């Protein structure tokens, strides 16, 4: 199969991709499921049939390039650092698929765990084919619908500069398309953190991480971490790089950052629980200024505006991450509202 796929090449990949994409619901709502917080907890917080796609985050290979070892994921730590069993992952995938979502495994992550092998070595020409074989075996063994590539920042840049990122994506795309599977990615929008333009045609969805402009240890205090203007800029940037609208997905945060002595990391769920529904309707608790005590995040109205923008200019919305919404699913409700408003305006 590998030989045939490589001979036919990009043409087959693009034809298969078009077939897969034709079967997708529009607009899409893609959510990341944090295995490192616990699969049962995260799945238990999913609203019924809300997400069209769910990406299980994160899987990494061991030093030999294996994704599964002795019936367990080689590097997918759970909430207490325990290994995730292949059977546990398979059952979780089935549960999410039963809710109407297509489920992918997400690779890498913003911080690569210590159990991972060196992606730079494993994606080199000498090791690439074996790594892809192991990944495809995981997809088939777990009953997954695809793969999401979330190699970020300096690691992504090093792999690309070595000439290994796009060849990896191209070869993986061929293998997945031959099986009717999806391939997506997550990308930042700053120099040194963006996927290379030549890799874009191989992805069914390009998920734009339009957040983290400021965090508890970077950026300029007093700024917002994910303003509406950032979403507009990021969508324009990636349209300019050639991502087709039906593959362009806007990422929104279900979390915020605290400053001025407040806890540095906040889920939207905790913001509303601790500061009340009135405060949670805005995009800031306190006053956003240098030296002030405040939390910057996206409230429902900003999320709804972004969803409307994403439905107008792209394929839909991506969420990091699903467990951080409120028990009554306030932010998912805001996304639905924004998308519905845009659909009505198109009639």
Establish if 288 belongs to a structural domain: no
Angle between helices 165-177 and 10-22 (to 10 degrees): 60
Q: Which two tokens stand for residue 293?
A: 């005590």
% pLDDT > 90, the chain: 90
**pLDDT score for 343:** 87
Count CB neighbours of 41 within 10 A: 12
* Terminal CA-CA length for the chain: 45
Q: How far apart are CA 237 and CA 243, in angstroms?
A: 9
Tens digits of residue pLDDT in 175-219: 999 999 999 999 999 999 999 999 999 999 999 999 999 999 999
Predicted local confidence at residue 5, as pLDDT:
39
What is the band of 24 on the pLDDT scale with cuts at 50, 70, 90?
A: low
In a domain, 262, yes or no: no
Domain containing 171 equals 2-255+300-345
Residue 278 lies in a domain: no
3-state secondary structure of 166: helix
Q: Tell me whether residue 91 is in a domain.
A: yes
Place of tokens 């409120």: 326
Please check the confidence at residue 40 and state whether its pLDDT lies above 90: yes
Would 198 be classed as within a structural domain? yes
Site of tokens 């690439």: 128
pLDDT at res. 3? 36
Q: Give the count of domains, the chain.
A: 1
CATH number for the domain that contains residue 154: 3.20.20.80
The answer to whether residue 290 sits within a structural domain is no
- What local confidence, expressed as pLDDT, does residue 8 receive? 37
Q: What is the pLDDT of residues 98-138, one digit of tens each?
A: 999 999 999 999 999 999 999 999 999 999 999 999 999 99
Whether 315 is covered by a domain: the verdict is yes
CB contact set of 94 (below 8 Å; sequence gap of 6+): 143
For residue range 234-271, list pLDDT tens digits in order: 999 999 999 999 999 999 999 999 999 999 999 999 99
pLDDT at 1 over 90: no
pLDDT band of residue 23 (cuts 50, 70, 90) is low
The answer to whether residue 291 is domain-embedded is no
From the list 228, 301, 299, 304, the residue with the least C-alpha distance to 268 is: 299
């Amino acid at each position: 199969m590998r030989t045939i796929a490589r001979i036919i090449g990009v043409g087959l990949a693009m034809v298969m991709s078009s077939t897969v994409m034709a079967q997708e619901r529009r607009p899409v709502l893609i959510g990341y499921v944090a295995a490192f917080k616990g699969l049962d907890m995260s799945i238990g917080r999913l609203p019924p049939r809300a997400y069209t796609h769910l990406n299980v985050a994160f899987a990494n290979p061991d030093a030999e390039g294996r994704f599964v070892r002795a019936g367990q994921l080689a590097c997918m730590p759970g909430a207490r650092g325990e290994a995730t069993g292949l059977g546990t992952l398979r059952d979780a995938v089935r549960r999410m698929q039963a809710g109407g979502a297509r489920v992918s495994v997400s690779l890498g992550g913003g911080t690569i765990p210590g159990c991972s092998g060196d992606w730079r070595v494993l994606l080199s020409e000498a090791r690439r084919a074996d790594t892809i074989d192991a990944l495809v075996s995981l997809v088939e063994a777990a009953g997954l619908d695809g793969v999401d590539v979330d190699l970020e920042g300096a690691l992504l840049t090093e792999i690309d500069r070595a000439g290994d990122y796009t060849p990896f994506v191209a070869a993986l795309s061929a293998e997945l398309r031959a099986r009717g599977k999806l391939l997506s990615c997550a990308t930042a929008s700053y120099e040194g953190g963006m996927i290379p333009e030549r890799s874009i045609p191989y992805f069914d969805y390009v998920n734009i991480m339009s957040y983290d402009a400021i965090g508890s240890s970077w950026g300029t205090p007093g700024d917002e971490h994910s303003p509406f203007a950032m979403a507009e800029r990021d969508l324009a940037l990636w349209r300019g790089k050639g991502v087709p609208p039906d593959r362009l997905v806007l990422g929104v945060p279900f979390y915020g950052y605290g400053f001025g002595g407040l806890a540095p990391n906040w889920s939207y769920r905790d913001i509303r629980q601790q500061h009340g529904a009135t405060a949670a309707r805005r995009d800031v608790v306190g006053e956003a200024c240098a030296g002030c005590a405040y939390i910057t995040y996206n409230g429902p109205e900003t999320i709804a505006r972004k969803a409307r923008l994403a439905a107008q200019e792209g394929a839909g919305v991506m969420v990091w991450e699903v467990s951080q919404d409120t028990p009554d699913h306030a932010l998912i409700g805001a996304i639905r509202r924004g998308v519905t408003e845009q659909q009505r305006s198109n009639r």
